[in-house]
Amino acid sequence: MAKTNDMANMPMRSLIFKMSWPPFCSMMMAYSYNLVDSMFVAWAGEEELAAVSLAFPCNTFITACAIGFGVGINVLVARHLGEKDQRAADHAATNGLVFATLIGVLLNILLLIGLRPYLRLSVRGEALTALCMDYMQIVIFMVVPAMIQVAIQKILQGTGNMIAPMLLQMSGVAFNFVFDPMMIFGWGPFPELGVKGAAIATVFGYILSAALSLYVLLGRRQKVTVTLKGYLLDPVQTADTLKIGFPSFLMNVLGAAMVSFMNGILIGFSITAVSFFGAYFKVQQIIERAVNSLVQGVLPIMSFQYGAKRPDRLHQALRLGLIYAAAIMGIGMVILLLFPAPILGIFRASADMLAVGIPAMRIMGIGYVFAGCSIIFATYMQAIKNIRQSVIINILRQAVLLMPLAFILSRALGIYGAWIAFPAAEAATFVYACLVYRLHKRAESSD
């Protein structure tokens, strides 16, 4: 039980680093699927890049479902281990993996049914619609292996094992990176498949990661045991998993909804604006996922301390999480302010895209530090079972404030108004999150 003792006794700075850097590597590798697709597809043309960008909300929704449910499993496993209840931890892992697989199958069917209606609402032009269909009707099949792989990743992370999930993720990413250009451009033994090739490489990368993850969890000794012997689906455990994971799901799925909403606004200005925003959002997600990897490390730590009734270490984790999140997002802000043109050059940006993108990236980067701190406050609320406030913070950031502001300001100030909405929404959400935390601390002190 060395890992569990680390959660209880290791100095907090060292523990956060130990728990966060492997998820950082894993999340960057997971995210690289769509980023790699975009980079290689951009070589084929701006319209192909736009097609993958328009498909990004669908990919993000799949990832959101996997991460949301996986985080629920992660928190329960860590909490039960903190309570020294091995049987409950084993049951949480087993129930979570089974239900994650069932959710994956259901989502696969629903996404296939809803694909054409989604494209009719969000895409204009027959050629662009055809490219989106070519990519999305294949990439949707990543949902089942993604649900399985992420569920296992979060089970292992809940026990303190952060290295194996990173290595398992790496296998699929390496496959995708090698086979993506081969299938897109017809290198080696493969025919030239264009965006279809990018989708096929992505799906098989996830299948490889899922298969290896199952082997590691079921075939190697772990700190939780998953067994189907005498197993019955537990509706109470499942409801707890969904409730706990909902804020993480919401944080990710709202990103998909926000991108779809912004695409609807930006396409009224130009297809170049849509292509830019797709490229920018991938860069922005790299920076924000660095904070999310910090969340993946800090959340089980906070959950363990909450289960073990260690408020001193719980609040220490919060304070350090806020400092590290502000530092990460501050670095991201400086990069966007100083180097927007080289960043867009990765996507072979045209002169028109640079004209749109350079000022946009500098404006949107202003809100990054506020965003990082709000995310950590939401994570703290999630760990202490205050799911309501965690959900509210996430909704404010990416929906309730951002979407109306983007709509109103884009009408009043043109395309620049759409960019200004981002830092404005992040600053307002940060103020709300600080007030909620102060009220919580005041109530805690009076008890």
The 10s digit of each residue's pLDDT in 282-312 is 788 788 878 988 987 898 899 888 888 898 9
**Lookup result for tokens 């409950």:** 88
pLDDT value at residue 432? 97
Choice between 433 and 96, residue whose per-residue pLDDT is larger: 433
pLDDT value at residue 134? 85
Q: Measured between alpha carbons, how far is 23 from 35 in angstroms, rounded to an integer?
A: 18
* Mean pLDDT along residues 311-333: 95
pLDDT digits (tens, 9 = 90+) for 55-70: 777 777 888 888 888 8
pLDDT value at residue 4? 47
pLDDT value at residue 2? 38
pLDDT value at residue 427? 97
* Sequence-ordered list of residues with C-beta below 8 angstroms from that of 352, at least 6 positions apart, any chain: 270, 272
CB 107 within 8 A of CB 65: yes
3-state helix, strand, coil in the chain (%, to 5): 85, 0, 15
pLDDT value at residue 113? 92
pLDDT digits (tens, 9 = 90+) for 124-182: 777 778 888 888 889 899 999 999 999 998 888 888 777 787 788 788 888 888 888 88
Q: Measured between alpha carbons, how far is 185 from 195 in angstroms, rounded to an integer?
A: 9
* CA count, 13 A, side-chain hemisphere, 139: 31
pLDDT value at residue 46? 65
Q: Measured between alpha carbons, how far is 4 from 193 in angstroms, rounded to an integer?
A: 48
pLDDT value at residue 26? 65
pLDDT digits (tens, 9 = 90+) for 191-235: 888 888 888 988 999 999 999 999 988 888 888 888 887 777 788
The mean of the pLDDT values for the chain is 86
Q: Measured between alpha carbons, how far is 387 from 420 in angstroms, rounded to an integer?
A: 29
pLDDT value at residue 409? 97
DSSP-based three-state secondary structure for 129: helix
Tell whether the model's pLDDT for residue 33 goes beyond 70: no
pLDDT value at residue 87? 84
* Mean pLDDT along residues 392-408: 92
* Sequence-ordered list of residues with C-beta below 8 angstroms from that of 270, at least 6 positions apart, any chain: 352, 356
Q: Measured between alpha carbons, how far is 12 from 149 in angstroms, rounded to an integer?
A: 28
